[in-house]
Amino acid sequence: MDTGFLAALFAGAIAGGFVNGLAGFGTALFALGFWLQILPAPQAVAIAVVMSIASGLQGIWIVRSEIRRHPARLARFLLPALAGIPLGVAALSIVSAELLRIGIAASMFFYGGFFLLRGNLPRFEPRTSVPDMVVGLAGGMLGGAASLSGALPSMWCALRPWPKGETRAVLQSYNVIVLTVTAALLAWKGFYTAQTLGLTALALPATLIGAQVGMLVFRRLSDDQFRVALFGLMLFSGSILALRELV
């Protein structure tokens, strides 16, 4: 491993950890922008799954009371996601990774950019059980395919009138559980070789440090600032993925 390789590995780990600490999602969105430059896609995804879990577990603690207050809300997203994870893992070796990245990049770029430019952010007040379940299922499939389980739920939750703690409680818990199941399936299929585990161990400390910094920023944001930050992260994440494909 040369200096450039290690720099990309640690940069992805720190960036992914920070975003997860701030928003409760996004480890893979930011980390894969670096790691797919130096690693094969299946190996990069396998490492991103573990980093997402590690950084997410820290964030769950700060919204534990919100998780206990709204278990049914989390279940609407999570239970369909569990059915989607095996489909995503199976697609990892079938679906074009390039097509997947372009689709996610375009969605996040235009979605985040549109709402950042609007004066008033839209909000859906009524309970939306069926859309919640559909988003949860799609997120589970993306989690299994590319460790991107948080992309669609974060877009949808940003439109709900929930305080930042409740939004994070759904996103953080959902991501950790979905990606833990994903990691188990990837391990069962032999994705975690000795080399992959060694790289994971190297990246883990940087991810944990980045997550701690992100959580410090999270505590200082108001509800409106947090919602705008989510849209900004979507725009920036989409830009990173799109630029990578263009370059």
State what percent of residues in the chain have pLDDT above 90.
26
Angle of the 3-23 helix axis to the 27-35 helix axis, nearest 10? 170
pTM of the predicted model, to two decimals? 0.79
Q: Among 31-35, 196-200, 233-237, where is mean pLDDT lowest?
A: 233-237
DSSP state of 95: S
Confidence (pLDDT) at 153: 86
Confidence (pLDDT) at 208: 92
Confidence (pLDDT) at 121: 58
> Residue 166 and residue 106: Cα distance in Å, rounded?
27
Please answer whether residues 56 and 179 qualify as being in contact, where contact means their C-beta atoms are separated by less than 8 angstroms.
yes
Asked if pLDDT for residue 184 goes beyond 70, the answer is: yes
The tokens of 55 are what? 């950084």
Angle of the 223-246 helix axis to the 97-117 helix axis, nearest 10? 140
pLDDT in tens, 87-105: 888 887 776 666 766 776 7
The residue ranges of every structural domain in the chain are 3-246
DSSP state of 193: -
Which band of pLDDT confidence, cut at 50, 70 and 90, is reported for residue 232?
confident
Q: What is the DSSP string of 51-71?
A: HHHHHHHHHHHHTHHHHHH-H
Confidence (pLDDT) at 120: 61
Asked if pLDDT for residue 118 goes beyond 60, the answer is: no
Asked if pLDDT for residue 206 goes beyond 90, the answer is: yes
Confidence (pLDDT) at 163: 81
State what percent of residues in the chain have pLDDT above 70.
85
pLDDT in tens, 131-181: 889 999 999 998 888 777 877 887 788 778 788 788 888 888 898 899 899
Q: Considering the chain, what is the average pLDDT of its residues?
A: 82
Phi, psi of 241 (to 5 degrees): -65, -40
Under DSSP, is residue 36 helix (H, G, I), strand (E, B) or coil? coil
Asked if pLDDT for residue 31 goes beyond 80, the answer is: yes
> Residue 1 and residue 182: Cα distance in Å, rounded?
28
Counting Cα atoms < 13 Å in the Cβ hemisphere of 74 gives 22
Confidence (pLDDT) at 41: 80
Which band of pLDDT confidence, cut at 50, 70 and 90, is reported for residue 125?
low
Please answer whether residues 136 and 81 qualify as being in contact, where contact means their C-beta atoms are separated by less than 8 angstroms.
yes
Four-CA torsion 10, 230, 166, 19, nearest 10 degrees: 10
- Top pLDDT among 1 and 49 is at 49
The tokens of 72 are what? 């049914």
Asked if pLDDT for residue 71 goes beyond 70, the answer is: yes
